[in-house]
A = this chain, B = another copy of it.
Amino acid sequence: MRTIRLGIAGLGTVGCGLMQLLARHGTRIGGVAGARFEISGVSARDRGKARDIELGPDVAWYDSAIDLATAAETDVFVELIGGSEGVAREAVAAALAAGKPVVTANKALLAAHGTELAALAERNGVALAFEAAVAGGIPVIKALREALIGNEVTRVYGILNGTCNYILTRMQEEGLPFAEVLAYAQALGYAEADPTFDVGGFDTAHKLSLLTTLAFGTQVAFDYIHIEGIEGITPADIEAADDLGYRIKLLGVAVKTDSGIEQRVHPAMVAKASAIAQVSGVTNGVAIDGDFIGDLLLVGPGAGGGATASAVAADIVDVARGGTFAPFITPAERLEPYRRAQLRRHQGAYYLRLSVYDRAGAMAAIAKRMAEQNVSLESIVQRRPKPAAGGPTLQPAAEIASGKPANVVLITHMTNEQAIREALAAIEADGQIADRPQVIRIEQL
């Protein structure tokens, strides 16, 4: 049986998880792959750091990941360093250029340089596998590349960031404000000290850019993603959503439209009775709509050493079995230039929460502005500014016309983003509302 020597760069949670996985299941999965897997070398920033793993005497230490990537002893290079530039990028490029297959969990790298690295892999006839880069253990790359290959994908969307989903879930379950849950998540290690990358939607966007390319055969176009984070979601929104039959989730959505491809990351309302609405806590969920299969939803752990190592191991076995696909299915040079759909043409229903001055004629003025843009309303609920325990109710008549701002929640029928923006601009100009309006798109599932 041939031996496949793995060079593993990066010994954080995922790197250590992979070494534990190989220690426990390496022989069995080698049997499946028709090879004996051996860790020939490793590399990490800090050699002295305490780790949960033991490096055997046959495992060479490399101070430089690039040296490991190109070493004669490395048959497959496993990049678990992270980051879009610097050593991760150089090491991956060096391995591919040296004709060595690469397995990586690095979404940032591929979001920034995916098309070019795929081209490099193809020129050198080697695999560039990245199941672990999107949604951790969930096999969504394999689903798009293989299981759904007989479909034209029309939309792919998902909950791709565990930190955001954890925060939204706790806000929903406990009625707490964003900042408080964020602090809690930071204390638990579910959120970074600087949480912007996660809660601002950027991590979700990295992953989405790769799904988009797989689904639609377009060049990786991270820079064209419309990104909104979850920082602006309030308990009032979560509560109103619940009353109206929705959950708020941070979604990454890529969808084919007549005017191009929409790629958007934003908090979205999803029907409470849907399966994706039940994806809670740090769990991820990815849905794919295809012309033959209909809708497929995959739910599982989106991060963590074990789950991500599971995805890396699957890629290693695939690489060993000789699965040299083009990394993005379509060969890199034939990926189409990304044609961005204008978000203002986005078709959908909307949740709007307005802080309306509570005076005669205010609602009529708002309704008029909506009508001018042909936005029809499914429901209008005027809500107490501070709902009592037991949940919000309709505003009692006695409190009406106090002159103070009151929360009004509107759910629109299908319309488009441009109409919503213009109607809201007119309402603001009319002086009917006290704050910036809250706008949350409703995702049709």
Contacts and interface: CB of A to CB of B under 8 A. Distances in A.
A143 B304 CA distance: 19
A267 to B, nearest CB: 20
A25 B149 CA distance: 9
A148 B292 contact: no
A24 B294 CA distance: 15
Interface stretch (A314-322, A346-354, A436-444): A314-322
A150 B296 contact: no
A142 B131 CA distance: 14
A290 interface: yes
Contacts of A235: none
A300 B275 CA distance: 10
B306 A294 contact: yes
Interface in A20-73: 21, 24-25, 29, 32
Given A306-B294, A307-B292, A314 B278 contact: no
A279 B290 contact: no
Interface string A216-241: 00000000000000000000000000
A141 to B, nearest CB: 9
A301 B293 contact: yes
A142 B147 contact: yes
A24 B149 CA distance: 12
Contacts of A280: 273
A274 interface: yes
B300 A294 contact: yes
A150 B314 contact: yes
Contact of A296 (B299, B309, B325): B299
Contacts of A329: 32
A150 B280 CA distance: 25
A422 interface: no
Contacts of A152: 24-25
Interface in A244-287: 273-275, 277-280, 285
Nearest to A148: B310
Contacts of A321: 323
A139 interface: yes
Contacts of A299: 275, 296-299
A296 B137 contact: yes
A101 B325 CA distance: 21
Nearest 9 A/B pairs, CB to CB: A150-B313, A139-B147, A296-B300, A137-B293, A293-B310, A297-B299, A292-B306, A292-B310, A275-B278
Interface of A: 17, 21, 24-25, 29, 32, 131, 137-139, 142-143, 146-152, 273-275, 277-280, 285, 290-301, 304, 306-307, 309-314, 317-318, 321-323, 325, 329
16 contacts: A24-B152, A29-B149, A139-B146, A148-B314, A149-B317, A150-B312, A150-B313, A150-B314, A151-B310, A275-B285, A292-B310, A293-B300, A294-B300, A294-B301, A294-B306, A299-B299
